[in-house]
Every structure is written in structure tokens, then in C-alpha cells.
Amino acid sequence: MAIGVAFLVSLFCTPIAIRVFTRLKAGQPIRAEGPQMHQGKKGTPTMGGVVFILATVIAYVAGHLALTTLPDAQIAQVEPTITALVLLGLMVFCGAVGFIDDFLKVRKRHSGGLSARGKLLGQILVGAVFGVVALWFPSTMTDATGAVTNTETVGSTTLSFIRDIPALDVTKIGAVIIFIFVVMAATNGVNLTDGLDGLATGASVMVLGAYAVIAFWQYRHWCADPAYTANPDNYCYTVRDPLEIALIAGAAAGACVGFLWWNTSPARIFMGDTGALGLGGLIAGMAMSTRTILLLLIIGGLFVIITMSVVIQIISFKTTGKRVFRMSPLQHHFELAGWSEVNIVVRFWIIAGIGVAIALGLFYSDFLANMG
């Protein structure tokens, strides 16, 4: 239900957003120092991320309404949770930071919007607020007898790969600091990837789809489910609200697919920093809530590769005065090498898919290894 509603809302509301932003002259300014072939995109409406962020929130509500219609035996996590507050809050408020940046770009008619320091402070503030909420508010889920069956928080005080690593306990304060870093890395990673029509949108669909699978698998093998843990040989996941995580991940993926219909080459609208930072914030929240923070490096492998291309370019130029790539981020290097935009996007999508496939393989192999 959530995926379908998000897809339809995004698919049919994006053309409305195109008309509205065109009428408001909210066109995307293009950097003069960027690839010359991008100058033809100047004036394309931006801030399209507003649509799929709104579609995700609407779909979340629809998903919960659908849960209330299920038989009592099947109802689980019907009421909204702190997990949803954290995940949707990260998406909305990181998106708000991006919206301010997009608004300033449009108003100034210049590609320089919010200052780097201002954007960084916004990301730190959002990460800190929701990191605290994620670490200080445990679940109070009870069974039919009233006994508390789940006291997990959204986040964990230990580092995690496929699950928590108990030996790497960093305390609550340390966990919040690490989460702030993850939010900054994920938001900037998606933002740097958002340089070609549909590239970041398609890659995000794969990453969010992977988290929907991971979270639903955790729900089906959940330590808070007495029907599953009745068998002591069953391996379970100590997370909070996994069905809620799967619902939101699926809704966001569906919303991105609907947006991709209009965002694919030649794009009629861009997601802007509104969408890129919103998606990055949500993906960071997914890694924290599913206890797969280090696995994010593989799931979001494309984002990591593109971010590292920028880091390498900056370090090389500042230390040697030479550039490793014709231009960074990496997708622009291949543009200047003569690759067509569509070829770059599809091949980069393949790389994103490979990262997702490897991550899901590692996740499932860990499950098999731990089953009794």
C-alpha cells in the first residue's frame, strides 16, 4: 500500500510541481565552470525533492491506515513510532536544509546558494537532534500479558556492520557523534551524485529497496516476536520497529520511482539539494535503525565512489597542483571523456546495483551462518 501510494502521488504530482516551479521561475542555475553541455539545462525547474518527500509522508500514513484493517493476529506496530519520527524527521529536515540552499540559488540566480558552513551546520544540527531522539527513547512494546517485550532504541551505542558489534561500544554520546558524521556523509554523497539526469534518483531507489528488504527480513526474524523466538534455534535481530522501517523505505523507493519518470534524461525537473539532502538523511537513518552502519559503505557503494573522487581530486590538486580526473565528481570526468549522459547514468546504476547485491548477499549469508 505504501509503495503504491507513494508512486502514484509522486508520478501525478510531479507534473504539477513542474508547472508551479516554472511559473515561479524556480529554474536551476548552472555553474559556469561545469561541463559546457550542461548549459542547455539552465532554467529546468528544481526543488523537485519536495514532491517525493511529501509523497513518502503521505504513503506512510496510508500504510498505517492499511495496517488497521488487518485481523488482530496480523496487526503489528499499528501506532506511529519514534522510529518513524526519526526517519521521516531526518528526511524532512535534511530536505529543509537543501530547500534553503535551492531557494537562495533561485533567488540569486546563481549556483552558489547556502554557504558551505551554513549547510554543514544545518546537517550537524539535524543529525544531533534526531541522533539524541534515536538513542534516548527506548521502546515500551508489550505482549498480551502486559510484559515489556522490546526495550530497544532506534539507534545503538555500538558500531554495527550486519548487526551490532558488542565489542565496539562507543557510548550514547559517541553514537550520536558517529551518527552526525553518517548523516553528513550520506547527504553529501547523494548530493554529489546528483549531477546527471536520473542518476541519484535511480541509485537511491536501489539503496532504499535494499533497506526495505533488510528491514522486512528483520521483522520476520525479530527478537520481539515471541512466536518466532519460541524456537531457541532461531536467530533473531535486536532492532526496534523493523516493519516501520520497511514501510518507510518502501514508500521512499516508490516515491523516487514516480519522480524518476520525469527526472530521467532529458529531465523535466531536478530534485535539487532539497531532494538530495532529504534522501541522504533518510538513508543515514536507515543504516542506523537497521543496525547496518558500516554495511552502508557497500549498499551505497556508488555514493562512496563518487564522494571519494572529489576527495582525491582536492587532495591531489592541493598537494601536487595536478588533477587526477578531468573534472569531479566522477560522472563529469566521463562526460568530458566523451561518454553520453545516458551511458554514464545506466553504467553507474549498474555499479550501484552491484553494491546493493553484494550487501544483501552478505546480510543473508550472515543470517544463514547464525541459524541454529
> Span 85-94, mean pLDDT?
98
Q: Is 198 exposed, middle or buried (0-12, 13-18, 19+ CB in 10 A)?
A: buried
Given a cut of 70, whether residue 149 has pLDDT beyond it is: no
Of 54 and 228, the structure prediction assigns the larger pLDDT to 54
Interval 47-77: pLDDT, tens = 999 999 999 999 999 998 888 777 654 445 6
CA distance 299 to 241: 21
Q: What is the pLDDT of residue 40?
A: 66
**Residue 319: CB atoms within 10 Å:** 8
273 is in an annotated binding site: yes
pLDDT > 70 in the chain, percent: 92
Given a cut of 50, whether residue 232 has pLDDT beyond it is: yes
Q: Scanning the structure block, which residue is given the C-alpha cell 496487526? A: 75
Given a cut of 60, whether residue 115 has pLDDT beyond it is: yes
Given a cut of 60, whether residue 289 has pLDDT beyond it is: yes
> Span 167-196, mean pLDDT?
96
Cβ(273)–Cβ(102) below 8 Å: yes
Give the amino acid at 1: M
Q: What is the pLDDT of residue 30?
A: 66
Interval 96-110: pLDDT, tens = 999 999 999 888 776
CA distance 119 to 188: 10
Q: What is the pLDDT of residue 233?
A: 87
197 is in an annotated binding site: no
Given a cut of 60, whether residue 146 has pLDDT beyond it is: no
Q: What is the pLDDT of residue 148?
A: 63
pLDDT band at 303 (very low <50, low <70, confident <90, very high): very high
pLDDT band at 209 (very low <50, low <70, confident <90, very high): very high
Q: What is the pLDDT of residue 31?
A: 66
